[in-house]
Structure 1
Amino acid sequence: MICRIWHGVVPRSSADAYARFLERRAIPDYRSVSGNRSAAVLRRDETAVTHFMTVTHWDSEDSIRAFAGDDVLKARYYPEDRDYLLEFEPLVQHFVVTASDGPA
């Protein structure tokens, strides 16, 4: 199993709206792809900005490729992200899951 982690930063004033967007748009999109085992959004508020991380678990690189395209480490963005994000990090991180006690 592979854990895929994406990070983004938004102005603190936009954080609630972006969280709703991720819940409505991104989570269902991840979950619709065969081989996606789970998807979660993590949030950390700071004074001026809010950090978001999406953490997804996948059966294989092939299942990630079905979601992200041939360059599996390239971050995938939605058109609506332009309304929120302060920058567009080009890459995500992948980790092989070596132990887990959850359903993922």
Structure 2
Amino acid sequence: MWRGWATSETADDYRRHYETDVAAHLGQVAGFRGARLLSRPDGDEVLFTSITYFTTLDAVRAFAGDDYELAVLEDTARAALTHWDERVTHHEVALDLPVSRS
């Protein structure tokens, strides 16, 4: 999980960057299992929370490098965001509740 903040004027730029560039990069990583980009207003800014799913920490390292808790940000993201978490957090899925079909 990782968080970054954008102004309301650049929030769409970051969302598009995530949808195109980040998605393309992640799609090349063996062990990548999906991602979600959440957003919400946060004062005068928009807070983005990125949640990515990988099969193993080795898959995370394939994306982020050996220091896999260091946030990976391309120049396009840096231009759209005002600030961000320098470090990411990793968690194991403890429980995954399926959607009820009833």
Query: Is TM more than 0.5 here?
Result: yes
Structure 2, unaligned runs of 5 or more: none
Deviation beyond 3 Å, 4+ runs, structure 1: none
Q: What secondary structure, in the 3-state scheme, does the structure 1 residue paired with 2:82 have?
A: coil
Map Cα deviations across residues 36-69 of structure 1 (whole Å, 9 max, x no partner): 1111111112451001111111111100000000
Structure 2-normalised TM-score?
Answer: 0.87
Q: Paired residue for 1:87, among 80, 83, 89? A: 83
Matched residues, number:
98
> What TM-score comes out, normalization by structure 1 length?
0.85
Residues 1-104 of structure 1 aligned to structure 2 (within 5 Å)? 5-101=1-97
Q: Which has the larger radius of gyration?
A: 2
Gaps (5+ residues) in structure 1?
none
Cα RMSD for the two superposed structures? 1.4
- 8 Å contact from structure 2 (residues 3, 84) kept in 1: no
Separation in 2 of the partners of 1:30 and 1:40? 12
